[in-house]
Amino acid sequence: MGIYLDSVTKIIQASGIFGLTWGNVIMLCVSFFMLYLAIVKGFEPLLLVPIGFGCLLVNLPLSGIMDDGGFLRYLFFGTEHEIYPVIIFMGIGALTDFAPLLANPITFLLGAAAQLGVFIAIFGALLLGFNVKEAASIGIIGGADGPTSIYLTVKLAPQILGAVAVAAYSYMSLVPLIQPPVIRLLTTKADRAIRMDQLRPVSKLERVLFPIVCTVASGLLLPSSVPLIGTLMFGNLIRECGVTERLSQAAQNEILNATTIFLGLSVGATMSAEQFLTIGTIKIVILGLIAFIFSTAGGVLFGQVLKKTSGGKINPMIGAAGVSAVPMAARVVQRICQQENPGNFLLMHAMGPNVAGVIGTAVAAAVMLTLLG
């Protein structure tokens, strides 16, 4: 009987209940909130469900799931060695239609203007005591591009990877909450109701040549951009060339879906209470929000400039889609414009700056790598 009681006592003492800390409890609540937003509110469930569940797993005490030899530690290999971000870019390229950008090349400028928050956050991070490499990694959150944020941070400041990755993906998921107030603040009702002319048709030759030319040009000018821009354009080429349908479908579906699961779980696994509940992490999360807000504002303000120079033919709201959150930011613009004018359709116009933002953020990251790497 005594041996039985000793065994029961050991099992109870080894249970996670006795290892639970207040930090674990807080992070479990954060996990539940992420899952609530994803499942109940529908905020980017493909991102938030894996991240939220990864956060849940790593904050269950004594499981060893993120220790050396643990499942999530092995899964994290693909994140810390830049494998998942590059594969994600290939999938994005295969999913993305670059025709709206090619049909209206001026929207490239909106993608560039929406990088404003990146540079504001860099200066803010330097003022708060981060070194220049950490500041660059924090600033790139403003591009609303999770894979690029991870890629740059692994190269420059791996010690803050967890906080940067979580902030970047969280704000990507919260685009429908963060962007509308900024857009409404910087536009009038008349601005939001502006109709834009139908985009011109884009030939197949243009569609096929663009990823090839873009890869060569960016690779020669900024070699550091090749892993991200190159795989993005490869994904787009197998979509557009017309002879690799099976590869395109695989990149869009099975490969992208599996990589999203692995990346999401491993990002969530960086959210252990010991690593995440620090003053430095709080600073990074706040700076990331500031960066994202100013990136949205930069796009809209430059959209106002284009509205004036075009004689009112460009709706300034599409500048908000210049952040890299594809296609979430473009959908937000479409939703707001339809609230003002139900017969107005801006989605395809907004997709131009949206895909320009993907390229712009990757280029910004490459410039930082060139200067600081």
Provide mean pLDDT across the span 96-116: 91
Provide mean pLDDT across the span 36-54: 90
Are the C-beta atoms of 59 and 31 separated by less than 8 Å?
A: yes
Are the C-beta atoms of 227 and 363 separated by less than 8 Å?
A: no
Residue-range domain boundaries for the chain: 76-372
pLDDT score of 112 more than 80: yes
pLDDT score of 1 more than 60: no
pLDDT tens string 260-313: 999 999 989 988 988 888 898 889 989 989 998 999 999 999 999 999 999 989
Q: How far apart are CA 106 and CA 371, in angstroms?
A: 28
| SS3 sequence of 149-180 | HHHHHHHHCHHHHHHHHHHHHHHHHCHHHHHH
CA-wise closest residue to 54 among 70, 31, 82: 31
Are the C-beta atoms of 50 and 265 separated by less than 8 Å?
A: yes
Position 8 confidence tier, pLDDT thresholds 50, 70, 90? low
pLDDT tens string 51-76: 999 999 999 998 889 988 899 999 99
Position 185 confidence tier, pLDDT thresholds 50, 70, 90? very high
Provide mean pLDDT across the span 97-120: 91
Question: What pLDDT does 277 receive?
Answer: 85
pLDDT, greater one: 2 or 90: 90
pLDDT score of 4 more than 80: no
pLDDT score of 9 more than 60: no
Written as six digits, the tokens of 16 are: 């996670």
- CB-based contacts of 291: which residues, under 8 Å, 6+ apart? 117, 118, 120, 121, 138, 139, 141, 142
pLDDT tens string 234-266: 999 999 999 999 999 999 999 999 999 999 999
Question: What pLDDT does 11 receive?
Answer: 56
Position 353 confidence tier, pLDDT thresholds 50, 70, 90? very high
Question: What pLDDT does 16 receive?
Answer: 64
3-state DSSP helix/strand/coil % of the chain, to nearest 5: 80, 0, 20
Question: What pLDDT does 340 receive?
Answer: 83
Position 13 confidence tier, pLDDT thresholds 50, 70, 90? low
pLDDT tens string 306-333: 999 999 899 999 999 998 888 889 999 9
Position 175 confidence tier, pLDDT thresholds 50, 70, 90? confident
What is the pLDDT of the chain when averaged over all its residues?
90
Share of the chain above pLDDT 90, in %: 65
Question: What pLDDT does 10 receive?
Answer: 61
- Side chain identity at 42, as an amino acid letter? G
CA-wise closest residue to 259 among 91, 48, 144: 91
Are the C-beta atoms of 329 and 179 separated by less than 8 Å?
A: yes
Question: What pLDDT does 179 receive?
Answer: 93
